[in-house]
Amino acid sequence: MALSKILPASQEQYVGARNFIINGGFQCWQRSTDNESTSTSWGYRTVDRFQTNKGRHRKTSDTVDGRTVDVLQIDPSSGVYHGGRGMFTMLEDYNVYDKPTVLSVYIKADAATTAEIGQLYDYGASSTVQDGTTVNITTSWQRFEVQYSAQTFSQAAGHYIINALVDGRTYYVAMAQLETGTQATPFEHRSYGEELTRCQRYYHLYDNGASNANIHSGLYSGTVYVADYQFKVSMRAEPTISVTDSGGTFSSSAASVDSSRFSFSGQNGVIRGVNFDAEL
Amino acid sequence: MQITSTQYYNDLEGNQSTIKATIDGTEMFVPIDPANRHYAEILRQVEAGELTIADPS
């Protein structure tokens, strides 16, 4: 396992879809751009495709490697945790691990400190494949790199991008990338639209808050309305549905990976604020 | 994942289509799909004897 500061951004001759981490640029924040959680469990709370633990996680930006990019700022909280403190992501396409891979990520903090990066977890076997590596973090951006040998997984694998954060420190994380090979290449910048579409396979939120932008329905019987909603992209699995609009009683639902049917009463035939969650 | 208040729900045609549950403090409708992580966790807790699912009301 090796850590190194790696290739300069000027060597951007590497092209193509290299980064297997979805939203590795932290561009998509459908749930919230600022969340302070007191939960002791991992959960999807802020930046898309990443689970976080207790503490405050929010969106900011900074110039990293000569380019202004989105950054995840983490202020970890003290107290009880479930499995650590930091962030991790899970990869549905576990066959990428058939060959050696390398994880890279930029990190800095408000003062010199430490953290772990790169723990690899096999959810099929419920076991750690590779432990995290402790790195020394400074107030300047550094790119860290962790190499993995070829692995065989039976289902989704999880990467702890950063973990074991120190209370009282503020951490900044940017541009996480997992790619095939033994050395990290420059970060692959993708457009917001590309990244959002990838994220919506796992989660999307219907909520633009406008009274004329509801999911419209028809009267089924009595005060019961029914609505069909086509997802923006096909989802990974039938999604869990939760409703943030509290204007009535959401009475039942049925879904596929492409669409959902709601029935509800007491909402005058309109509904808005619906979460569709098919995360790993 | 903290799961409480689980109950089967029928769709308008009377088919058992979802489980209404409170998950980490939020009311959710979980499809009966083994690929759904919430349903998989409900199944795990039921099999472990930690959770029961009420019949439809």
Mean pLDDT, rounded, for A50-70? 95
Q: Choose, out of A253, A261, A265, the residue to mutate when testing the contact with B (most B CBs < 10 Å).
A: A253
Calpha distance A128→A122 (Å, rounded)? 6
d(CA B34, nearest CA chain A) in Å: 9
Low-confidence winner among A70-74, A243-247, A275-279 (lowest mean pLDDT): A243-247
Q: Is B2 near chain A, with CB under 8 Å?
A: yes
Check A238 against B35: CB less than 8 A apart: yes
Percent of chain A whose predicted confidence (pLDDT) is above 70 = 86
* Residue A161 CA, distance from chain mean position: 11
pLDDT of residue A221: 84
Q: What would the mean pLDDT of B23-49 be, rounded to a whole number? A: 95
Best A238, A263, A264, A265 residue to mutate vs chain B (most B CBs within 10 Å): A238
Average pLDDT over residues A202-211: 78
Per 3-state DSSP, what percentage of chain A is helix, strand, and coil (rounded to 5)?
Answer: 5, 45, 50
Give whichever of A68-72, A91-95, A265-269 has the largest mean pLDDT.
A68-72
Tell whether A240 is within 8 A of chain B (Cβ). yes
**Cross-chain residue pair A239–B36, CB shorter than 8 Å:** yes
Pair of tokens at residue A209: 């808050």
CB contact under 8 A, A240 and B1: no
Distance in Å, alpha carbon of B42 to nearest chain A alpha carbon: 12
Greatest alpha-carbon pair distance for chain B in Å reads 32
Residue A9: pLDDT over 60: no
DSSP β-ladder status, A50-52 and A87-91: antiparallel
Q: How much is the pLDDT for A255? A: 82
Q: How far apart are CA A232 and CA A249, in angstroms?
A: 25
> A254 pairs with which residues across the strands?
A261
Q: Confirm or reject contact between A245 and chain B (CB < 8 A).
A: no
Closest CA to B50 of B18, B2, B7: B2
pLDDT digits (tens, 9 = 90+) for A104-157: 999 999 999 999 999 999 988 889 999 999 999 999 999 999 999 999 998 889
A49 φ, ψ (degrees, to nearest 5)? 75, 0
Which residue from B12, B24, B30 is facing A41, i.e. has the nearest CB?
B24
| CB within 8 Å: A279 and B37 | yes
pLDDT, tens digit, 9 for 90 and up, residues A173-206: 999 999 999 999 999 999 999 999 999 999 998 8
Picking from B2, B29, B37, the nearest residue to A241 by CB comes out as B29
Residues 77-136 of A with CB under 8 A from B: none
Q: Do the Cβ atoms of A41 and B1 come within 8 Å?
A: yes
**What does the pLDDT average to over A213-241?**
86
| A45 vs B: CB within 8 A | no
- Residue in chain A closest to B23 (alpha carbons) equals A242
Q: Quick one: pLDDT band at residue A13, thresholds 50, 70, 90?
A: very low
Cα A95 to Cα A103: distance, rounded to the nearest angstrom: 16
Are the Cβ atoms of B18 and A252 closer than 8 angstroms? yes
Q: Is the pLDDT of residue A10 over 60?
A: no
Ranges in chain A annotated CATH 2.60.120.260: 15-200
Interatomic CA distance for residues A145 and A5, integer angstroms: 8
Q: A268 falls in which pLDDT band (50, 70, 90)?
A: low
Residue B36 half-sphere exposure, CB side, CA atoms within 13 Å?
Answer: 23
pLDDT at position A170: 95
CATH fold group of domain A15-200: Jelly Rolls (2.60.120)
CA–CA distance, A56 with A197 (Å, rounded to integer): 26
CA A181, CA A217: separation in Å to the nearest integer?
51
Contact A43 B27 (CB under 8 A): no
Distance from C-alpha of A10 to C-alpha of A105, rounded to nearest angstrom: 17
Residue A78 scores a pLDDT above 80: no
Select from A252, A257, A263 the residue whose CB has the most chain B CBs within 10 Å, as the one to mutate to test that interface.
A252
Average pLDDT taken over every residue of chain A: 88
